[in-house]
A = this chain, B = another copy of it.
């Protein structure tokens, strides 16, 4: 059922659950948050969650989607400025988002792809790449910005370059999230230097 067709009471409960779940994900990590913990924090019984969501996975997906709307906003916040400025701000926004929403980032991009379910039509696989989802929209923004900076490249080359850029940004974010105990030196310095190199990479 689309949200706008829901009764206000139902929508409020849904939003309340998503809000509480988001706080728990941020505080305890995605894997440590169970349906019973969410239900207890909301103040309802565990099975009652299933009147609003089909599964725990769906709750995780919707919480992550909400956070990703902010990534899209961060990436495209420099609309109208010079291509270089847009690129720099997008890169900066990407790191800010990933490092300050680790749980959403993990849900979206660090989950395992089940090897015995290689069906791209599986909704659990492709949910994040439907056109109305903030995740792919964010990557489209990135692609557009790369195109602005490299009008000399073909459309295909722009796509590949933006995917390389995305991979490069994603790599540092996910490593910093997955291995916070690694001897990274000064993290902010590493992020700054990596941002510089990633921007330069677009022009190689």
* Contact bitstring A147-171, B, C-beta under 8 A = 1, else 0: 0000000001001110110111111
* Chain B proximity of A153: nearest CB distance (Å): 11
The answer to whether A200 and B204 touch across the interface, beta carbons within 8 angstroms, is: yes
Q: A114 to chain B: which residues have CB within 8 Å?
A: 28-29, 31-32
User: Complex formed: what's the CA distance from A30 to B113 in Å?
Assistant: 9
Q: A167 to chain B: which residues have CB within 8 Å?
A: 168, 171-172, 175, 194
**A134 proximal to B (CB < 8 A):** no
* Chain B proximity of A109: nearest CB distance (Å): 6
> Which of A8-16, A34-42, A67-75, A120-128 participates in binding chain B?
A120-128
The answer to whether B164 and A193 touch across the interface, beta carbons within 8 angstroms, is: yes
| Residues of A74-114 contacting chain B, CB below 8 A | 102-103, 106, 109-114
Given the interface contacts A171-B170, A193-B160, does A29 sit within 8 Å of B181 by beta carbon? no
The answer to whether B180 and A31 touch across the interface, beta carbons within 8 angstroms, is: no
User: Complex formed: what's the CA distance from A116 to B32 in Å?
Assistant: 10
Of the candidates B29, B166, B170, B190, the one whose C-beta lies within 8 Å of that of A113 is B29
The answer to whether B27 and A115 touch across the interface, beta carbons within 8 angstroms, is: yes
Given the interface contacts A167-B172, A190-B160, does A129 sit within 8 Å of B181 by beta carbon? yes
* Chain B proximity of A146: nearest CB distance (Å): 12
Q: A118 to chain B: which residues have CB within 8 Å?
A: 180
Q: Which B residue's beta carbon lies closest to that of A120? A: B181
* Chain B proximity of A39: nearest CB distance (Å): 20
**A197 proximal to B (CB < 8 A):** yes
User: Told that A110-B178, A163-B184 touch, could you supply 19 new A-B pairs with CB distance under 8 A?
Assistant: A28-B114, A32-B114, A106-B112, A109-B178, A113-B177, A113-B179, A120-B181, A125-B181, A159-B185, A160-B190, A163-B185, A164-B193, A164-B194, A164-B197, A166-B175, A167-B168, A167-B175, A170-B171, A197-B204
